[in-house]
């Protein structure tokens, strides 16, 4: 079993960056208070929540990119897990209640260009840079989540 923890829970009224909140309720429709300006590419039951790795963000910053937790539009930033294990089909518990299943890697969005040197937002493309992509997940069990919560593999 793999154990990590939540570094940040992030929401926005639409667009990026998503900013941290103390706690939010995670439902099948996503995080309470979070909105999407582009509902064709974001949201819905199979893309209810976006996850990203704090270690990947640190590696990107070490390359000189001015990225930070929530900047790339992820709802939940996690640490302490091997990010290459967070793959489609894997299931993860968040806190004491919530559980999600990773459904897909996200496609990088041009709205993230500001967080990358020379606007190269494809730096977080799974096909170009395996292990550096955010992931989408569906919610299996709803619940309240917060920074500091456990992030645990459940499958």
All domains of the chain, ordered by start, with CATH? 3-153 (2.40.33.20)
Q: Percent of the chain, pLDDT > 70?
A: 93
DSSP assignment of 37-66 equals S-TTTS-SGGGSEEEEEHHHHHHHHHTT--
Range in 7-11, 32-36, 39-43, 87-91 the model is least confident about: 39-43
The pLDDT-based confidence of 15 (bands split at 50, 70, 90) is confident
Tens-place pLDDT, residues 115-139: 999 999 999 999 999 999 999 999 9
User: Residue 75 corresponds to which tokens in the numbers above?
Assistant: 């709802």
pLDDT tier, 36 (very low <50, low <70, confident <90, very high otherwise): low
Per residue in 68-121, pLDDT tens? 999 999 999 999 999 999 999 999 999 999 999 999 999 998 999 999 999 999
């Amino acid at each position: 079993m793999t154990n990590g923890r939540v570094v940040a829970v992030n929401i926005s009224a639409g667009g990026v960056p998503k900013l941290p909140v103390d706690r939010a309720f995670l439902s099948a429709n996503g995080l309470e208070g979070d909105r999407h300006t582009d509902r064709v590419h974001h949201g819905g039951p199979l893309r209810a929540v976006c996850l990203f790795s704090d270690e990947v963000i640190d590696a990107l910053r070490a390359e000189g990119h001015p990225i930070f937790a929530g900047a790339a539009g992820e709802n939940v930033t996690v640490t302490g897990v091997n990010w290459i294990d967070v793959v489609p089909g894997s299931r993860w518990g968040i806190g004491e209640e919530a559980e999600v299943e990773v459904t897909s890697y996200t496609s990088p969005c041009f709205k993230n260009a500001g967080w990358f040197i020379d606007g190269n937002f494809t730096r977080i493309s799974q096909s170009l840079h395996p292990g550096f992509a955010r992931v989408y997940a569906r919610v299996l069990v709803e619940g309240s989540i917060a920074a500091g919560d456990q992030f645990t593999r459940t499958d």
